Amino acid sequence: MDYAIGFLLLLGVLVFIHELGHFLVAKACGIRVETFSIGMGKKILKFQKGETEYTISILPLGGYVKLTGQDPREEIPAELESKSYRSKAIWQRAAVILAGPAFNAVLAFLVLTGLFLNGVPSLAPVFARILPGSPAAEAGFRPGDRVLSIQTPDGETHRIRERSDLEEIVGKSTGRDLVFQVERDLPGSTAKGAAEVRYSPETGEERDSVTSVVSRRGIVAGAEAQALAPVVYVTDGSWAATRQVATGVYIDQIRVGAGVPVKVNTFEELAEVWSAAASETVGSSEGRVEISGRKIVAETSPNGDAAKSDKSPEPEAVTYTLAWTKASEAMPRTLEAAGLRPAELALIEVRPDSPAAKLGLQAGDLLLTLNDEKIRSFFWFRDSIQRLASEGQELKISWLRKGQTVESVIKPENVSVKDPLTEASRKQFQIGAYFMAVQAPPAVIDVRADGLLEASAMGYRKAVSLTNSMLGSFYHLAKGDISPKTLGGPLLIGKIAGESFRQGWVPFFRMMAFISLNLFLLNLFPIPVLDGGHLVLLAFEAIRRKPVSIKVIEAWTTVGFFLLMGLVVVVSFNDLSRLGLFRFFNL
């Protein structure tokens, strides 16, 4: 029921606003409006007011405003000719056509403004993880730094409120000397402090948070947006292993003795809590530490680009009691000393006949180094493989197996893989191993304006930013960076509308603003039948200084009809494929 309500409410508002734009501007230009309809097909509700019939039709997939004289073949009584669409100046007819998309853009701006007044949950502009020895670390960034503002070389200061603000400024500032104002935790305190970090973004590959396309742009090298999850790899024969702790446990909390459980969200927090717990138990002849969490197998594709959810079992809740009865067996001071390491580079599967399989890598192995350099993170390892292999360099890796370190040379294969988000195929170097790379949940903040004026400015900037991202999506779609399989029709819109409606009004209105901007852009495309197609005909009329012939209009409309029907077939096929209908028929 939520899906039906969300779908009807979303499309109803968007269609009404679009057609209202056409209607109001037509009225302002003195054009007679015969019908104002929400929906298509058979009329299920109608009433007459003045010269206009207002209707609701059975198919909620669009709407229309019928203007007297818009069809050039229509015969109009002489007394109505002055109020016909075709009797008006080109600029007036263009204004009527533009009004529909423009009202969708205005709606998106108003919705976004209202959301910023209310407060919008957004990804925080935080560098959750700074890799040791990386350019980001050398510049002075620390894990957990939240960027407050960035000053560019021209002296302009950009306030950074959410992750997309940070990505936008850094992405277009390769090689420019930027000054980052950051907020960070003070050592040994719960208070926050401020710091200034100078850094020139490097060129690297990063996935756009809106378009999902991986592209080359400015990045803070060595800074990762998400922290490492507290998932552990247990070394054979270690203190933790002798107490039956298993590899692949996502630790949620630690409790020392009968104390209060302490929750952990990242591997770094786990290390700090463990160290503090060890300090409490120094010299104790007996004691216990209880760790609780979920035993998981988090699977990703070779080098981490696609989830393998079809193989991932349900997480199993586990609790381990790590006890000792003499001081010499007390809990070690660090996680590594206890035999607990980050599990992000632990292998959970090796594809048969892959380079990893030929090398002899096995599930349970933990990668340690690449070309004698300690592997800093899973993403660093993935990106390094791409860089080194594309340069033709030899790749030497070492790994841990049953407490022993093994080393050998591996040659990645260059294979075509399908991007899980864009569904486009691209070439990538892979070794054929699946890793236990799990990221902690990203930091989320509530972005709220101080007043209506600021909310309006934020709404405008967000609308422009989303519009630019959508234009980028269309560009990448044309280039093949995004597969047509990602396009969706009414079923997908209904699914998205229903899910956002279930989540609450804020997600629902965010989706409304996003789709309203989509309608704004799509309707302006120079495609026959759409508003942009009508503008093309008006442009020809303005250039030729006489109306376009009926034959040209009919041909133009016919082309548009078939293009539109082709698009309908594609998006409907995609929608049905997502529902698994074709798998049912073995298609």
Q: Among candidates 56, 104, 4, which has minimal Cα distance to 494?
A: 4
Q: Among candidates 497, 512, 517, 514, which has minimal Cα distance to 13?
A: 512
Q: How far apart are CA 220 and CA 318, in angstroms?
A: 38
**Is the distance from CB of 382 to CB of 357 less than 8 angstroms?**
no
Angle made by CA atoms 166, 117, 461, in degrees to the nearest 5: 40
**Is the distance from CB of 161 to CB of 146 less than 8 angstroms?**
no
List strand residue ranges (DSSP E) for 103-201, in order. Answer: 120-123, 126-127, 129-130, 145-151, 157-159, 178-185, 192-199
Half-sphere exposure of 485 (CA within 13 A, CB side): 12
110: left (phi over 0), alpha (psi -120 to 50) or beta: alpha
**Chain position carrying tokens 């609780």:** 292
Catalytic residue among 19, 162, 268, 344: 19
**Chain position carrying tokens 């969706």:** 488
Token reading at 109: 């701006």
Token reading at 271: 């290390």
**Chain position carrying tokens 């590594």:** 336
Token reading at 469: 């991202």
Q: How far apart are CA 279 and CA 277, in angstroms?
A: 5
Token reading at 505: 């009004």
Q: Among candidates 65, 58, 60, 55, which has minimal Cα distance to 18?
A: 65
**Is the distance from CB of 63 to CB of 70 less than 8 angstroms?**
no
CA torsion angle for 530, 532, 533, 537 (degrees, to 10)?
140
**Chain position carrying tokens 């007036």:** 92
Angle made by CA atoms 279, 285, 290, in degrees to the nearest 5: 60
**Chain position carrying tokens 């609450």:** 504
Active site residue 19: yes
**Is the distance from CB of 64 to CB of 35 less than 8 angstroms?**
yes
Q: Among candidates 41, 18, 22, which has minimal Cα distance to 31?
A: 22
Token reading at 287: 């004691």
Q: How far apart are CA 338 and CA 341, in angstroms?
A: 9
Catalytic (active-site) positions:
19
